[in-house]
Structure 1
Amino acid sequence: MEEIDLKILDLLQTEFPLVSRPFDTIGRQIGISENETIDRVKDLFTNGLIRQISAIFDTRRLGYDSCLIAMQVPKKDIDNAAKVINAHPGVSHNYARSHLFNLWFTIATPPGDNLLSDVEKLSNDISSHATLTLPALRMFKLNVRLDVTRSRNPLATEPGNSRKKTKVELHLSPLTDIEIAVIRELQENILIEESPFRGIADRIGITEIELFSIANKFINEGRMRRFAAVLRHRESGFKANAMAVWNVPEDDVEKVGNQFAAFQAVSHCYERPPQPPIWPYNIFTMVHARTTEECLGILNVMSQSAGVKEYDYLFSEKEYKKIRVRYFV
């Protein structure tokens, strides 16, 4: 892949400009024309490197409930079980992972729905031998930015990467009808054209300036994490993606969570409730690497640096579903 394309991918992952002509802005940062930028981004979509360019919303701050679920399914039945799980409209991610608990998915439900009832029904529908319900208690980091340019050391720690959050933060005002319409539009893949936001604003019945004002308000409130591209991990060279789970003493959770969140190779770091004796782990991290050996090396360094010896890792074996949750549809 050309260096210019790698630079484009790196920029798009970080933040897509919320301006009238975003590809002109991106092109200027790299030193190419708007038209060339558009053509290259189209090619990156066609070649399967970019999955989506859209808003990334905070599920709970939109009033939705969400949870990570793990199920234990006989290996011979896992493909059929995944189809049943995928049919639920709130399931956004669904993976086979290398563990006794071998089917992992995230599920979100709108205000008024009962998430636990839906999970129980899915568990019964696929005859899961055991099910773990693992809501996020605290988020230390959520920042998926693959180092496609190889400019960052995956073992490097950057304290600025650590962003401790709790469930109780801002008291947000109810969303207006216009704001809900903006969410419906911005959650979809944008068109790769000169002024992709103009059509969005027209469909809502507002100006581009009003659209950007609402989007920036969402960012300031934490309702929108960012507007950016999501890449396909494997196509981008990251073929070893592991969910590492750690058994951390309760008094050390905050310290260790912030330590792990600072690692460049870590994209997600959450505290979730342990369910002993079958599941003693309370910190979850996602680590992305180019090879299995590199991934295991990163986990070893994390273990040594934090002094956490009891951990396990679950490699992604098969991706059954990876989409964004679609809100207010």
Structure 2
Amino acid sequence: MKQEVLSRIQKSFPLVERPFRSIAEDLGMKEEDVLAILQEEKSKNIIRQTSAIFDTKRLGYVSSLVAFKIDEADIDEAVSIINSHPGISHNYERNHEFNIWFTIAVAPDSKLGLEKSVEILASLTKAKSHIILPTLKLFKISVKLDTTGKDEKKEKVKKVKHTEIEMTPLHHAIIRRVQYDIDIVSEPFKKIIDELDIDYDTFFSILKQLQNAGVMRRFASILNHRKAGFGANAMVVWDVDQEKGEAAGEQAAAFSAVSHCYLRPKYENWPYNLFTMIHGKTKEETNAVIEEIANEIDARSYMPLYSSREFKKVRIEYFTPEFEAWENLHVKEEG
């Protein structure tokens, strides 16, 4: 039942007072058995984090994927410099002359803005070249690893219409707390309830509001890909005609093995505009999915970029003073 439990917490985490009892009831298990399984998987670092997953843009942050071309001898120092920015959530070395790939976000009140922040990082790391690849169109963002081997090859990607929301201090207070990893205990939200001196109904009502408004994408567990057995994770980039980009993105996003799918800009030195993250247990498995997608979408060419090293993979901490501190330091340096 372990694989069923791991599958469930990635896909549909119950936002109730005792979520693990709810999962246990659905799977015909005891709550203590579900807790024991998850506590063990957490201790093995197979479960990376269980928390709210927020939409950076809906929170007012500006973000982008960025690629740097760094000399091999400078990579370690460059990575340390890049990772010092509080808006860096992912940072990988990939098999291309653009070898360092990271995602960066800057806060709504950023003095520098995203492009200037990237320019500073490029200068500090001695990057020979860099490209900024913001999202032009999002088709899918949902990491759900098939731990049971029972998932369908394709899935329907839902298009959700978001409601408007007026954010109050309580909304922000809840966001600041639910962005962090919960404890695997019977009542994992009790600490937040007690700290904010609110009841469960108020707490879950606000989480529902945040989700309906698209501010919170979902509440779920994210697994450590490699430790969960998914060692062949490729960012596959595709060169598609602009007018065919939306159709190609929708087709690629329908594959269950695709966790992320975006349209991004092209440049003279970068002809690829459709980006897909594909997860498999082996390169053969991942390559088979890539081939299926290639047979289905209309692309001039494509290239799988496998990650050779993972330097950082965390959730951005929203509404914290670290963003301002980093900018103040580098504004002084620029001056």
- Normalised by the shorter chain, which TM-score bucket? over 0.9
C-alpha distance in 1 between matches for 2:165 and 2:18: 31
TM-score when normalising by structure 2: 0.92
Is residue 162–residue 212 contact of structure 2 (8 Å, CA) maintained in 1? no
Q: Which residue of 1 aligns with 2:324?
A: none
- Report matched runs for 1:1-329 at 5 Å: 4-113=1-110, 114-153=113-152, 156-158=153-155, 160-161=156-157, 163=159, 172-276=164-268, 278-329=269-320
Greater shift, 141-150 or 71-80, is seen at: 71-80
Deviation at 1:281, TM superposition (A): 0.8
Gap runs ≥5 in structure 2: 321-335
Q: Deviations over 1:24-69 (max 9, x none)?
A: 0011112221112111111010011100000000000011111111
C-alpha distance in 2 between matches for 1:203 and 1:108: 29
- 3-state secondary structure, aligned to 2:248: helix
Is residue 165–residue 209 contact of structure 2 (8 Å, CA) maintained in 1? no
Q: Deviations over 1:136-178 (max 9, x none)?
A: 011011111000111125xx333x1264x8xxx8684442111
C-alpha distance in 2 between matches for 1:213 and 1:284: 35
TM-score when normalising by structure 1: 0.94
Question: How much is the aligned-residue C-alpha RMSD, in angstroms?
Answer: 1.4
- 3-state secondary structure, aligned to 2:138: strand
Deviation at 1:87, TM superposition (A): 0.7
C-alpha distance in 2 between matches for 1:137 and 1:130: 22
Q: Deviations over 1:283-316 (max 9, x none)?
A: 1000001111221221122111113241111101
Is residue 235–residue 276 contact of structure 2 (8 Å, CA) maintained in 1? yes
Report the residue type matching 2:307 in the other structure. Answer: S
Report the residue type matching 1:280 in the other structure. Answer: P
- 3-state secondary structure, aligned to 2:58: helix
Query: How many pairs align?
Result: 318
Q: Deviations over 1:92-143 (max 9, x none)?
A: 1111111110100111111121111111100100000111100001101111
C-alpha distance in 2 between matches for 1:80 and 1:189: 29
Q: Deviations over 1:4-39 (max 9, x none)?
A: 111110000002111001110011112221112111
C-alpha distance in 1 between matches for 2:105 and 2:196: 25
Deviation at 1:189, TM superposition (A): 0.5
Is residue 165–residue 213 contact of structure 2 (8 Å, CA) maintained in 1? no
Percentage of matched positions with identical amino acids: 42
Report the residue type matching 1:21 in the other structure. Answer: R
Over 6 Å off, 4+ runs:
none
C-alpha distance in 1 between matches for 2:289 and 2:163: 38
C-alpha distance in 2 between matches for 1:236 and 1:135: 30
